[in-house]
Structure 1
């Protein structure tokens, strides 16, 4: 099958959408599909793809949209049309990319079905932010793109239930994201993290203390402030631990969180260590006793299966679209988004090493069984085949029903 993905930027600092598109493209290409990736920024696309290595996705880098509001010019669209010709399906990503509306219309002219993955952007919390701007965007073409898509792809039932109100005449479907298990099949142990961040490294890790890990973007919605306050509560209770905040964000917000840590007298208890990637990230999960992310909203959230795959229990909130699945795995506690609730959940794990170990084992077993990449890839193949059979529509009135 000839599958073309479009995502404007491939920069891993942008978050999980980039990781999702990279992983699904790589796996589908390995299953003998002809995968093309269209983008304006190929910063974090693997070099082997850019070099055209056999069996890898093909990368086509195009100039950024030259018109205001992130729109391509007619000449740019004519060039993009060349890459849509012959595609069996066009897969668009993210709701608020204005160029997606243009590519959707181009696909319709070529009678190429298209799928739009919304990546949690229509969740209730997200839609409560900048609501007027988003409603205007939907009214001016965004809803049409959703409703005329062959399928609107959601990663969890909870996401579909929240998003469908915004495209009532569209067709929704649920397929989990492809999660690359290869780095987690043979775990490296905690030594890499200790070498980088322990006493011989930056000194942020204290091996004699259990580690509470936050690994995500430093952003208001992620609840970094809630976790810092939970760390203060744990300290008041006399529970010894070291909280590690791994990730980056806007400099002013990072500075605000550092000031909060200082004001609460937590400089020795909470450390911000920046972005961690690769094998060192896997090792850091293994060093941690628990991953704690008090997020307001998260779509699939790769950090959660990553942590569980490393046998590290998770504490998070119902703001995560896959929270029912995480809770059912036996490896996660779903808590209210308050400092006291997070302190309670974290303390319950730290106080009981047997519970921590059992949760870790159950979580890893669940990931290996339910997020097997080949099984998920088959579901993507079924989704693409369904898109080809139903096609996209040129009128919202014939776009089917949301199911």
Structure 2
């Protein structure tokens, strides 16, 4: 098949969405499908050259997009001209110009398009940012509602995400499909990764590292993690917290202030964003992975941790928490301070035999549930079934 991934950006700093698009494109191409990408990135964006050299993904960078919305005059004409070359277009994410442009352009040329909301319909945003939600309501009937209504299918990563998506806007129509999600296997050279990480952070060698890796954003619960770690730090003198990821200056300053006030500033290492060997080295060097998030659609970093055999300590707002809990691949609790303390304490109290058993289960959970190959096959089942029936439901979606 000829497949186009449409995304607001491929910038690695954007988090899991950009990485998910890259992984999906690589997996589809490995199966012999012709995959391209289009984004709102500026053609000369500095992160594009190394990214494209690594994955050999044909890309139309149609930006720069203006403002947070990312509007660019190049996208709709490009989609109308090039859209008919593709058997399917996958629209990744909502609330930016690329999704509205897809609806404007593709329905008029009869191209099947599919929408991955990537958790952006989660009602958590409605409750946490009511003013922003009001602004979205003003936009919703004219843009995203129509985008979803006229899509060949709206694709969800979990059943949990599918059910939550129905709760944000009462005006909602979609043909829903759950296709899972996943990521690739970690690179095999674990010793090289470990040495690269320890060379960069020699003071962490031999420590029991609790790793957070992701954007340092308020929804991720990093403040809870710092407070919880502070409560237990004296009980586990060899434990150390690593906060790895990008964030705006105000968010990071607020977190550093919390650490200083709690008296554990010297027990935390702030690495900034880690990539390549350093990222995999952080996973390999760590004792457990922690994400007490208030909202997490899937959690690519959670799955990467599992892939490295790293048990995960997550909140029940991470949408794969049921799978983690039922498999025993980590511990799950509420997205509160007490829940975060509970997860850390349960992990620290395990003996080495039980920790090793959980490490083995973490790796097994990744293999059985979250490989990009399994996700790709489910996605292809949907795309190929629609292509075989030559269906295109513009104006007449299935209402689920």
TM-score by shorter chain over 0.5: yes
Q: Alpha carbons of 1:266 and 1:282: their partners in 2 closer, same or farther (altered >3 Å)?
A: same
SS at match of 2:118: coil
Deviation of 1:105 after TM superposition, in Å, equals: 2.7
SS at match of 1:268: helix
CA deviations on 1:18-59 (whole Å, 9 max, x unpaired) are 0011111111112111112112326444658469x9xx4321
Q: Determine if contact 1:169/1:401 at 8 Å carries over to the other structure.
A: yes
Provide the TM-score with structure 2 as the length reference. 0.90
Matched, 1:139 2:137: no
- 2:178 is aligned to 174
SS at match of 2:266: coil
- 2:348 is aligned to 350
CA deviations on 1:351-390 (whole Å, 9 max, x unpaired) are 3222211111011012122233333221111121244336
Deviation of 1:67 after TM superposition, in Å, equals: 10
Q: Determine if contact 1:187/1:310 at 8 Å carries over to the other structure.
A: no
- 2:374 is aligned to 375
Q: Alpha carbons of 1:69 and 1:314: their partners in 2 closer, same or farther (altered >3 Å)?
A: closer
SS at match of 1:120: coil
User: 144, 147, 150: which one pairs with 1:148?
Assistant: 150
Q: Alpha carbons of 1:314 and 1:50: their partners in 2 closer, same or farther (altered >3 Å)?
A: closer
Give the distance between the partners of 1:321 and 1:131, measured in 2 at CA: 21
- 2:198 is aligned to 194
Greater shift, 188-197 or 117-126, is seen at 188-197
In structure 1, runs of 5+ residues without a counterpart are 200-204
Deviation of 1:254 after TM superposition, in Å, equals: 0.4
- 1:10 is aligned to 10
CA deviations on 1:238-259 (whole Å, 9 max, x unpaired) are 6541111111201011011111
Give the distance between the partners of 1:285 and 1:50, measured in 2 at CA: 25
- 1:287 is aligned to 285
- 1:301 is aligned to 299
Q: Determine if contact 2:62/2:72 at 8 Å carries over to the other structure.
A: no
Q: Determine if contact 2:153/2:175 at 8 Å carries over to the other structure.
A: yes
Q: Alpha carbons of 1:46 and 1:152: their partners in 2 closer, same or farther (altered >3 Å)?
A: farther
Q: Alpha carbons of 1:50 and 1:197: their partners in 2 closer, same or farther (altered >3 Å)?
A: closer
Give the distance between the partners of 1:349 and 1:76, measured in 2 at CA: 49
- Structure 1 segment 1-400 matched on structure 2, within 5 A: 1-41=1-41, 43=45, 44-45=47-48, 47=50, 49=52, 56-65=56-65, 70-73=70-73, 77-128=76-127, 129=129, 130-165=132-167, 166=169, 168-183=172-187, 185-188=188-191, 190-199=194-203, 205=204, 207-235=205-233, 237=235, 240-351=238-349, 352-388=351-387, 389=389, 391-395=391-395, 398-400=396-398
Q: Alpha carbons of 1:255 and 1:312: their partners in 2 closer, same or farther (altered >3 Å)?
A: same
SS at match of 1:384: helix
Q: Determine if contact 2:284/2:308 at 8 Å carries over to the other structure.
A: yes
Give the distance between the partners of 2:75 and 2:235, measured in 1 at CA: 61
Q: RMSD of aligned C-alpha atoms?
A: 2.4
Q: Determine if contact 2:154/2:174 at 8 Å carries over to the other structure.
A: yes
CA deviations on 1:40-99 (whole Å, 9 max, x unpaired) are 326444658469x9xx432122233579954443x7522332211221111111111133
Greater shift, 216-225 or 99-108, is seen at 99-108
In structure 2, runs of 5+ residues without a counterpart are none
Give the distance between the partners of 1:260 and 1:66, measured in 2 at CA: 35
Deviation of 1:345 after TM superposition, in Å, equals: 2.1
Provide the aligned length of Structure 1 versus Structure 2. 389
Give the distance between the partners of 2:206 and 2:51, measured in 1 at CA: 42
Provide the TM-score with structure 1 as the length reference. 0.89
Give the distance between the partners of 1:170 and 1:26, measured in 2 at CA: 28
Greater shift, 267-276 or 161-170, is seen at 161-170
SS at match of 1:248: coil
Give the distance between the partners of 1:287 and 1:233, measured in 2 at CA: 23
Q: Alpha carbons of 1:327 and 1:390: their partners in 2 closer, same or farther (altered >3 Å)?
A: farther
Deviation of 1:186 after TM superposition, in Å, equals: 5.0
SS at match of 2:143: helix
